[in-house]
Amino acid sequence: MKLLTKMMHLQEQHGAVTDSMLREMSKEEGVPLYRLEGLRGFYPVFRATPGRKMQVQVCRDIVCMMKGGPQFCSKVKSALSNAADVEVEEVSCVGRCDTAPAATINEVPVSGSVEAITAYATGGKPLPSNAPTTTPRRWSTDPYANEKEHYSVIKKFLKPGDDRQRDEVINILKEADLRGLGGAAFPTGMKWDLTRKAVGRPKYVVCNADESEPGTFKDRVILEELPHLLIEAMVLAGWMIGATEGIIYIRHEYAKEKKALQQAIEKARRFGALGKKILGSDTDFDLQIFVSPGGYIMGEETALLEALEDKRGEPRNKPPFPVDYGLWGKPTLMNNVETFAAIPIILERGAAWWGAQGKGNYKGLKYMCVSGDVAKPGVYCVPWGTTVHELLTLCGGVPDGKALYAFSPGGASTNFLPASKLDTALDFKAMQEAGSSLGTGAMVFMAAGRDVLELAISEVKFFRNESCGKCVPCRVGSHKAVDLVETALAGKPQPDLVALLQDLNSTLAQTSICGLGQVAMVPLMSVINYFPDDALPRLQGSAGRRK
């Protein structure tokens, strides 16, 4: 963390991390030059030479594509091409899909038309505030009526020396069937138990707050409005596994949310919920926030650990898993924001209560982030088992009276499904049986008239753009896949393209080191499989080619 923090500080102060700065840093820190170049060249926040005063970064991914219209990014670029001191860059999803089309200007999120963004960038319009909300909403997974009640669960469980309390917590989590909500769906109780039993000292607790998949912004809301739940869960995690240090790894695009989190941490310290002898127990635990230097891949758990170790964020080969070999090779408990945030209420009210919150046999409450062709995009906390249709209705349905054509239920890595699957329950297994995956709970609705092939390709491009480059199938394969499809869309599909794409997809899925490569072509393949009329004519070059 030391080197990256230093470099980010230099970047912030000087607008660049220059060669001479790195030479000096190399001497001060006793690290060879190549290490610093490796970091500077990998992480998007770093530049070797300062840029212009106004840095406009426009999102190029699926929801902003849908909302901004064709060529949105290029239009912003041309509109600002003559503006002095303004630089426009296309970036990957910034996590503000509910206010698409989204951009950031010097890290401050803005939204709106080309004209609006131009006005912000040229000073015609003052930038919106980047301060966290002072009026967070009430959410159903918050067991506390007011601030004074915060951290009661810690008080309940952190009794001195009693290991049976830990056993009890594990049992509750297992009974509640809480699963990892960052996309992997690994049973949380089991993960906590394994890390508790893992051999090695010191252990660490890490929160993966790097949500960066297009369409995903639920953690953003939890960070801003429910940070105390996250903090409490991490203290419990530390107590569970015997760790005294916790780190929250947050994406740099969430500056506002980071401020909220920082304020909550300071409050917690003053309250005695962080630090030494927490709330009268014999547990020591404290938290620090580490801001990511950028890149979607940093949300991959081992890439995240690599960054914390001041290396390029390239995923490790697994096994071993972080539970046994995590930060600095020691057992590390890593969970997603939403997963952590669910734990206090589960422990407060019990597994039975949690189970009763779901529909029918489903257990618990889920934060779904909804965007795309929907009247009221945003984050919704709904019972597990709610159907996609019910969710759509909750969000005000498809605007302008259009019919729904397709939806992507769980983020860029999940299969597009046709409207016929609307009655699928929001649940990992149910969504899998329907032919897709619940993933991160990022629901993107697509109305009739949308070019689903193009939208699917934008997801593949996202993965290509965000590939770390470590392994051959993902680095080269994702690039070639996009190349092949774009050539086809330009009117020159090569023979046997679909078969080739299937083979390529198979190799990426089977041989990539990490999840990114494994799913990079998935949306495209799902459109080929479930929306053949949209895909095949253009990819196969047969008669009836659509423009």
Q: Which residues here bind other proteins, judged by CB under 8 A?
A: 19, 22-23, 30, 32-38, 40-42, 44, 295, 312, 317, 319, 464-473, 475-480, 483-484, 487, 494, 496, 500, 503-504, 506-507, 509-513, 518
Task: Look at residue 271 and give its three-state secondary structure.
Answer: helix
Please state, in angstroms and rounded to a whole number, the distance separating the CA atoms of residues 404 and 389. Answer: 10
Closer to other proteins by Cβ: residue 66 or 431 = 431
Task: Look at residue 226 and give its three-state secondary structure.
Answer: coil
Closer to other proteins by Cβ: residue 19 or 89 = 19
Nearest Cα neighbor of 425 from 366, 385, 370 is: 385
CB of 17 to other proteins, least distance (A): 10
Please state, in angstroms and rounded to a whole number, the distance separating the CA atoms of residues 305 and 135. Answer: 34
7-36 in b/e form (b: 16+ CB < 10 A) is: bbebbeeeebbbeebbeebbeeeebeeebb
Closer to other proteins by Cβ: residue 266 or 483 = 483
CB of 468 to other proteins, least distance (A): 6
CB of 68 to other proteins, least distance (A): 24
Radius of gyration of the chain (CA): 23
CB of 436 to other proteins, least distance (A): 17
Instruction: Take residue 336 and report the two structure tokens written for it.
Output: 């997603």
CB 43 within 8 A of CB 311: no
Please state, in angstroms and rounded to a whole number, the distance separating the CA atoms of residues 394 and 47. Answer: 44
Closer to other proteins by Cβ: residue 240 or 460 = 460
CB of 311 to other proteins, least distance (A): 10
Closer to other proteins by Cβ: residue 388 or 528 = 528
Closer to other proteins by Cβ: residue 113 or 511 = 511
CB of 475 to other proteins, least distance (A): 6
Nearest Cα neighbor of 234 from 218, 254, 250 is: 250
Render 134-200 in DSSP notation, one character per residue. Answer: SSPPP-TT---SSGGGTTHHHHHH--TT-HHHHHHHHHHHHHHT-B-TTTT--BHHHHHHHHHH---
Task: Sort 391 into a burial class: Cβ within 10 Å, 0-12 / 13-18 / 19+.
Answer: buried
CB of 298 to other proteins, least distance (A): 11
Task: Sort 86 into a burial class: Cβ within 10 Å, 0-12 / 13-18 / 19+.
Answer: buried
Closer to other proteins by Cβ: residue 357 or 467 = 467
CB of 413 to other proteins, least distance (A): 14
Closer to other proteins by Cβ: residue 168 or 483 = 483
DSSP β-ladder status, 203-209 and 108-111: unpaired
Please state, in angstroms and rounded to a whole number, the distance separating the CA atoms of residues 184 and 217. Answer: 17
Please state, in angstroms and rounded to a whole number, the distance separating the CA atoms of residues 473 and 480. Answer: 10
CB of 520 to other proteins, least distance (A): 11
Closer to other proteins by Cβ: residue 386 or 518 = 518
CB of 28 to other proteins, least distance (A): 14
CB of 467 to other proteins, least distance (A): 4
Closer to other proteins by Cβ: residue 330 or 359 = 330
Closer to other proteins by Cβ: residue 90 or 390 = 90
Amino acid letter, 432: Q
Closer to other proteins by Cβ: residue 19 or 284 = 19
CB of 504 to other proteins, least distance (A): 7
* Ramachandran quadrant class, 105 (left: phi over 0; alpha: psi -120 to 50; beta: rest): beta
* Ramachandran quadrant class, 52 (left: phi over 0; alpha: psi -120 to 50; beta: rest): beta
Q: What is the DSSP letter of 380?
A: E
Task: Look at residue 257 and give its three-state secondary structure.
Answer: helix
Nearest Cα neighbor of 310 from 108, 30, 13 is: 30
**Run of H or E residues at 50:** none
